[in-house]
Amino acid sequence: MSKKIVVIGGGAAGASAASRAKKLDPSAEVILIEATDMITHGPCAIPYYVEGIVKDRKMLVTYTPEDFERDRGIRVLTNTVAKNIDVDKKVVVLERDGKELVMEWDKLVIATGATPAKPRVNGVDLKNVYTIRHPAQADELSDAIRKANNIVIVGGSYLGLEMAEAALSLGKKTILIEKEGQLLPRSLDRDVADIVAKEVVTRGLELHLSEPLKEIIGKEFVEAVATSKNIYKTDLVILATGVKPNIELATKSGIKIGITGAVEVNEYMETNIEGVYAAGDVAEKRHIITGKKVWIPLAPSANKEGQVAGANAALGRSLRFPGIVGTAITKFFDMYIARTGLGEEEAKEQGFKIESKLIKVRTKAHYYPKGTYVYIKMVVDASTGRILGAQIVGWEESVAEYINSVAIAIEKEMTIEDLFFADIGYHPAVAPVWHPLIVAARTLSHGRF
Amino acid sequence: MSKKIVVIGGGAAGASAASRAKKLDPSAEVILIEATDMITHGPCAIPYYVEGIVKDRKMLVTYTPEDFERDRGIRVLTNTVAKNIDVDKKVVVLERDGKELVMEWDKLVIATGATPAKPRVNGVDLKNVYTIRHPAQADELSDAIRKANNIVIVGGSYLGLEMAEAALSLGKKTILIEKEGQLLPRSLDRDVADIVAKEVVTRGLELHLSEPLKEIIGKEFVEAVATSKNIYKTDLVILATGVKPNIELATKSGIKIGITGAVEVNEYMETNIEGVYAAGDVAEKRHIITGKKVWIPLAPSANKEGQVAGANAALGRSLRFPGIVGTAITKFFDMYIARTGLGEEEAKEQGFKIESKLIKVRTKAHYYPKGTYVYIKMVVDASTGRILGAQIVGWEESVAEYINSVAIAIEKEMTIEDLFFADIGYHPAVAPVWHPLIVAARTLSHGRF
C-alpha cells in the first residue's frame, strides 16, 4: 500500500515538503492542506505589490493549486483548516466548507507558519489598522494605502522599513515609531542602525525611536496613534511588530514546543512524535555558531527545512538541515542592508569575548568613477579571530551579495586571517583590489596583516 | 644597526612589501627600487583610461613616490634599474642616470612583475603595434587608438576583451583574433566561453576564433595582420597575448626558477636564497585545490604576497600566504564574467573524476521586475561532491560577487550539499529565494536535494 504523507500549510516550507516527498517517492499519496485559497504565497512580495513595483497580484504566488495537482501529482485542499491532530491514531481532523473531515496519515509535516504578533494595546482591531502576512490581503491593503494620507508604521522591522518605502513612494506622509532606541533592533547593532536611521530620515520618513506604542485611537476607523511621548494623527496604521509561530495545532496535539516558543525539531526536522515533522516558520532552527536553538523565521531556511522534512518523510532519515547563521537582507530605496551571524551584543550574551569595528570604504577601485561607499561592521572572537558576524549597509546591490561570502566564512569557522587571504576576485568596476570584506578583516588584525 | 630591506619593483607587490616592512619594523631602512617614474601603478586601469571612463592619468597610480617617502618613510628610487644581485655579498647593483650604484641589503624582496609576451612573428615591432602593461604608455596608446580606424586585437584574454570594449566604445571597427577555438581559453570552459562570444559579437566585435597570428604586415607602420586563414587590414594592433614573469634578474643571480617558469617561493614567500623573497607576478603561487605550483599573475594575490614578503622580511617568519584558487573577474560592457577554481578540462587533467552543469537562472524573485539571467557552471568532484570550480556570466554587477562565495566555499572544501544548505541571504530585489548558487549546487545533486 502506498504511503500517505499529509502536509499542513501551503507556504514555502509546506509546498517544498510536499513537492520533495512526492518527487522522492512517486508512489506516495501526498496531500497538501492550506487554510486560504493560495499556495506558495510569498509574503516578502507584499510591500512591492503595495508600492506598485510588482504589478500583478498573480505574481504573489509561485504556483497555483492546479499547478501542483496537475504537474506534481499532489492533492491540494485549499480553504481547509487543520483543527486537530491525533498522533496515536495518526489522523488529522480537517474543516472544509463547514464540514469535518478526518484524514489518516503515515507521515505528517506541520508547516503552519507564523502570523503577525499584534501589540497588546487598545485599538489594534480598529478599521484601517493592518498587519501584513498573507498575499490574500494585499489588494485590500494596497487600496487602503492609496486612499490614506497619513500613515503610521509601528515597528522598525524589515517589514516596517519595506512598508515605509512603499508608503513614501506613493507620496504619503509616513511616520515610523519603534519602541527601541534604534531601527532593526534584533538584526543590527546600534552604530549600524544609526546609519540606516540617518538615510530613512533623508528619504522623508518621520522616525520616532524609543517610543513604545501605547494606544491606537479611534471609533470605527483609526484616527491617531499614541506613543509614550506623543500622539500622531493618522488614517492608516501598519503593525510591523514581528511575527509568532502558529503553534496552536501542534501544542494541542502533544507536539513539543521548544524553548524558543516554536516547535522543537532535530536536524531531520523530526518533532518529538515519530512520523511527525515540522518545517518553516513554525519550527525552531539551530544556530550554527552557538549550537543553540533560535527562532529566526525567514523564507530561505523555510524552503530548505521543507525539503528536508519532505525528503525524510518520504525516505526516512536521508537529509539533514545543518542550521542557520541568521543571514538576512533588506533594502530601503537604494540602500541595501545585510547581516549575518551574531551582532555585538548577541555575541557577548553568548559568552564570547569579542572585538568589532565599523568601517566605511569605497566599493570600487579609486580610479573607477561609479563607486559608492559601503559600511561593514565585522564582529570577531577576540581570542581566535574567528568571524562571528557582519553587518553591511551600502548603496549598491552588490554589497548585499557580500553577506553571502561572510555567511559561508562563518559556517566554515573562518578567521579574519583566512578571510584576508581568501582568493576574492578583483576588477576595478566591481571592487577595489583590497575588497571591502578584506579591509574589514584586516582592520581587526591589530596590524598583523 | 637598523636592518636594510631593499625591494625591487614598485608595482602592487613591491609597494605592499615595502609598506608592510616599514610599518612592522619602523627602525628598518626600507628602499623601493623602481625602473620607471611611477609606483603603485595599476595596469588593470589602462583599458578604462583608454576608453575614457578614467579621465585623469594621475588616477592610474595609487601613490606617488613623494607620498611614499613623506608619509611612509620609505626611500623610493625611481628610474632605477636593478642590474644584478650578489646573494653572497648581499648587494644589488643598480643603474641610475647612467651610473652604477651598489646597494647593500639585509633582506631583499624581488617584485619585478611581468611583461607582455609578444608572439614570435614578423612585424611585432612595427609602429602602431602595442602591448599593454605600464600606465606610462597609456597616453600614447590612448592617442593612437583615437586616431586609428581599424583596430585588430590579438588574443581573447581578459585584456583583449577589455581593450575590445574600449575600442568599440570609441566607435572603432574592431577585430579580435584568437588562436584557440574560444575566448578566454585559460579561464573558461568552451560552453561558457561560447556565451561570452555570442555577446561580444552582438556588441559589434568582429571575432575570429581558431586563427593563430602568422604575421604583422607593414613597412614602418602596421598595415595588416595575417592569420592562418585571412589577412585583415588595420592601422593599429594590440597584442593581448599574455604576460611572462620578469625573471631575468633572479635567474642570473642564482635564484631558483620553479616548474612554472616563475620564481619558486614557499608559503613565506622565501626563495631558495636566505633573506631573499619574491612576490607578485614574478613569483609562483600554490593552488589550494591541487597543492601544485601555478602561475596566475593577478593583482589581489600580488598585493597579499607583497604583504607577506614584507612582513617576513621585517619580522622573520610571521605570516603565510596560503595560495590561490584562481578567482578572476572581468567585464565587457554590461556583461560580467567571473571564474574560480578549476575548469572542467583543468580538473580532469588534475585527475579528478568530475561532474559539471551549466545552468541559466533568473537573478531575482520571479515577481520582481528588474531581474536578468545568469549562467553558472559548477564543476564538482563526482565522488565527494566537493566543489572544484565555477564560472559565471551575467548582466548585473552583483553576479560577479557570487564568485567570492564560491571561492571561499572551495577554499574551505565545501560540497554541493554544504553550499545548498549554506545560509545565503534572500531579498526579492537581490536574489530569488533559491539563490542562483544554490540552484547550481542542487542541479548536481542527482535529485538528492
CATH number at residue B179: 3.50.50.60
Q: How far is B3 from chain A (nearest CA, A)?
A: 20
Question: Does residue B306 sit in the same domain as residue B413?
Answer: no
Q: Which helix (H) or strand (E) holds A293?
A: strand A293-294
Considering B241, B263, B295, which residue would you say is the last residue of a domain?
A: B241
Yes or no, beta carbons of B400 and A430 under 8 Å apart: yes
3-state class of A428 per DSSP?
coil
Closest C-alpha to B107, from B91, B94, B118, B93: B91
Within A270-334, residue ranges assigned H as helices are 299-315
Q: How far is A216 from chain B (nearest CA, A)?
A: 31
B396 contact residues in A (CB cutoff 8 A): 397
Does residue B52 form part of some domain? no
**Residues A398/A436, Cβ–Cβ less than 8 Å:** no
Instruction: Tell how strand A91-96 and strand A80-86 pair up.
Output: antiparallel
Q: How far is A324 from chain B (nearest CA, A)?
A: 6
**Residues B322/B314, Cβ–Cβ less than 8 Å:** no
Yes or no, beta carbons of A448 and B299 under 8 Å apart: no
Question: Does residue B257 sit in the same domain as residue B355?
Answer: no
Give per-residue pLDDT as tens, A350-361: 999 999 999 999
Yes or no, beta carbons of B425 and A403 under 8 Å apart: yes
3-state class of B197 per DSSP?
helix
| Cα angle: B325, vertex B328, B333; to 5 degrees | 165
Q: Which helix (H) or strand (E) holds B151?
A: strand B150-154
Amino acid B135: pLDDT: 83
Measured between CA atoms, the residue of chain B closest to residue A341 is: B423
Question: What is the number of alpha carbons within 13 Å of residue A272 lying toward its C-beta?
Answer: 11
Amino acid B370: pLDDT: 84
The residues, any chain, with a CB within 8 Å of residue B49's CB and separated by 6 or more, are A367, B57, B59, B60, B135, B138, B142
The residue ranges of chain B whose pLDDT is under 70 are 1
**Residues A104/A86, Cβ–Cβ less than 8 Å:** no
Rounded CA separation A156/A238 (Å): 11
Residue with cell 511621548: A229
A429 contact residues in B (CB cutoff 8 A): 48, 331, 397
Considering A289, A315, A341, which residue would you say is the last residue of a domain?
A: A315
Rounded CA separation A237/A389 (Å): 34
Yes or no, beta carbons of A338 and B434 under 8 Å apart: no
Residue with cell 625611481: B78
**Residues A36/A78, Cβ–Cβ less than 8 Å:** yes
Within A230-334, residue ranges assigned H as helices are 248-252, 299-315
Rounded CA separation B312/B314 (Å): 5
- What type of residue sits at position B49? Y
Rounded CA separation B59/A367 (Å): 5
Which residues constitute the domain of residue B308? 4-44+60-114+244-315
* A369/A424: higher pLDDT: A424
Question: Does residue A271 sit in the same domain as residue A342?
Answer: no
Within A157-298, residue ranges assigned H as helices are 158-169, 190-202, 248-252
The residues, any chain, with a CB within 8 Å of residue A111's CB and separated by 6 or more, are A7, A8, A9, A11, A13, A14, A17, A278, A279, A280, A282, A302, A306, A309
Amino acid B56: pLDDT: 87
Q: In B1-113, at which residue ranges do the beta strands (DSSP E only) sit?
A: 4-8, 29-33, 75-77, 80-86, 91-96, 99-104, 107-110
Rounded CA separation B23/B261 (Å): 32
Yes or no, beta carbons of B433 and A367 under 8 Å apart: no
**Domains in chain A, number:** 3
Catalytic residue among A23, A24, A36, A44: A44
Question: Does residue A97 sit in the same domain as residue A123?
Answer: no
Q: Copy the grid coordinates of residue A218.
A: 479611534
Rounded CA separation B9/B114 (Å): 11
Question: Does residue A143 sit in the same domain as residue A186?
Answer: yes
For an interface test with B, the pick among A46, A290, A336, A401 (most B C-beta atoms closer than 10 Å) comes out as A401
Yes or no, beta carbons of A449 and B321 under 8 Å apart: no
Considering A315, A350, A372, which residue would you say is the last residue of a domain?
A: A315
Rounded CA separation B44/B60 (Å): 9
Does residue B49 form part of some domain? no
Instruction: Flag whether residue B316 sits within 8 Å of chain A, measured between CB atoms.
Output: no
For an interface test with A, the pick among B19, B305, B404, B426 (most A C-beta atoms closer than 10 Å) comes out as B404
Amino acid A124: pLDDT: 96
B324 contact residues in A (CB cutoff 8 A): 423
Question: Does residue A342 sit in the same domain as residue A422?
Answer: yes
Measured between CA atoms, the residue of chain A closest to residue B365 is: A45
Find the radius of gyration of the CA atoms of chain B.
23
Work out the pLDDT band at A24, boundaries 50, 70, 90: very high
Question: Does residue B407 sit in the same domain as residue B344?
Answer: yes
A330 contact residues in B (CB cutoff 8 A): 427
A434 contact residues in B (CB cutoff 8 A): 300, 303
> Is residue A176 over pLDDT 80?
yes
Question: Does residue B284 sit in the same domain as residue B391?
Answer: no
Q: What are phi and psi of B125, to 5 degrees?
A: -100, 10
Rounded CA separation B411/B408 (Å): 5
Rounded CA separation B272/A371 (Å): 42
Does residue A154 form part of some domain? yes
Rounded CA separation A306/A294 (Å): 17
The per-residue pLDDT of chain A, averaged, comes to 96
- What type of residue sits at position B70? R
Residue with cell 510569498: A42
Rounded CA separation B241/A154 (Å): 61
Rounded CA separation B345/B181 (Å): 14
Question: Does residue B299 sit in the same domain as residue B228?
Answer: no
For an interface test with A, the pick among B62, B401, B415 (most A C-beta atoms closer than 10 Å) comes out as B401
For an interface test with A, the pick among B25, B367, B417, B446 (most A C-beta atoms closer than 10 Å) comes out as B367
Q: Beta partners for A445?
A: none
3-state class of A131 per DSSP?
strand
Work out the pLDDT band at A369, boundaries 50, 70, 90: confident
Does residue A448 form part of some domain? no
* Residues in chain A, total: 449
Closest C-alpha to B345, from B298, B392, B379: B379
Interface of B with A in 257-296 (CB under 8 A): 288
Closest C-alpha to A433, from B43, B133, B242: B43
Instruction: Tell how strand A29-33 and strand A91-96 pair up.
Output: unpaired
Q: Which helix (H) or strand (E) holds B305?
A: helix B299-315
Rounded CA separation B401/B374 (Å): 12
State mean pLDDT over A375-380: 98
Determine how many CB atoms are found less than 10 A away from the CB of residue B197: 22
Question: Does residue A366 sit in the same domain as residue A436?
Answer: yes
A86-to-A106, A249, A252 alpha-carbon distances in Å: 12, 11, 10
Amino acid A77: pLDDT: 98
Yes or no, beta carbons of B329 and A303 under 8 Å apart: no
DSSP character at residue B137: G
Instruction: Flag whether residue B71 sits within 8 Å of chain A, measured between CB atoms.
Output: no
Does residue B322 form part of some domain? no
The model's pTM: 0.97
Yes or no, beta carbons of A327 and B448 under 8 Å apart: no
Rounded CA separation B253/B63 (Å): 30
3-state class of A44 per DSSP?
helix
Does residue B55 form part of some domain? no
B318 contact residues in A (CB cutoff 8 A): 448
Q: Copy the grid coordinates of residue B237.
A: 594592433
Give per-residue pLDDT as tens, A4-19: 999 999 999 999 999 9
Interface of A with B in 29-58 (CB under 8 A): 42, 44-45, 48-49, 53-56
A400 contact residues in B (CB cutoff 8 A): 398, 425, 427, 430
Closest C-alpha to B174, from B224, B123, B116, B236: B236
Q: Annotate B302-319 with b (16+ C-beta within 10 A) or e (fewer).
A: bbbbbbbbbbbbbeeeeb
Nearest neighbour of A327 by CB, restricted to B45, B318, B425: B425
Instruction: Flag whether residue A201 sits within 8 Å of chain B, measured between CB atoms.
Output: no
Interface of B with A in 340-379 (CB under 8 A): 340, 365-369
Instruction: Tell how strand B91-96 and strand A373-381 pair up.
Output: unpaired
The residues, any chain, with a CB within 8 Å of residue B191's CB and separated by 6 or more, are B358, B377
Instruction: Flag whether residue A426 sits within 8 Å of chain B, measured between CB atoms.
Output: yes
Does residue B431 form part of some domain? yes
Question: Does residue B217 sit in the same domain as residue B165?
Answer: yes
Nearest neighbour of B400 by CB, restricted to A304, A368, A425: A425
Does residue B320 form part of some domain? no
Interface of A with B in 387-416 (CB under 8 A): 396-398, 400-405, 407-409, 411-412, 414
Amino acid A261: pLDDT: 98
A152-to-A45, A125, A129, A180, A332 alpha-carbon distances in Å: 20, 15, 9, 16, 17
- Number of A–B residue contacts, CB under 8 Å: 236
Closest C-alpha to A295, from A266, A336, A263: A263
Question: Does residue B203 sit in the same domain as residue B145?
Answer: yes
Q: Residue B446: is it exposed, middle or buried by C-beta count within 10 angstroms (0-12/13-18/19+)? A: exposed
Closest C-alpha to B317, from B107, B110, B92: B107
Instruction: Tell how strand A293-294 and strand A285-286 pair up.
Output: antiparallel
**Residues B6/B107, Cβ–Cβ less than 8 Å:** yes
Give per-residue pLDDT as tens, A120-173: 999 999 999 999 988 878 999 999 999 999 999 999 999 999 999 999 999 999
Rounded CA separation A7/A103 (Å): 11
Yes or no, beta carbons of A425 and B435 under 8 Å apart: no
Interface of B with A in 202-231 (CB under 8 A): none
A43: left (phi over 0), alpha (psi -120 to 50) or beta: alpha
Nearest neighbour of A428 by CB, restricted to B44, B403, B425: B44
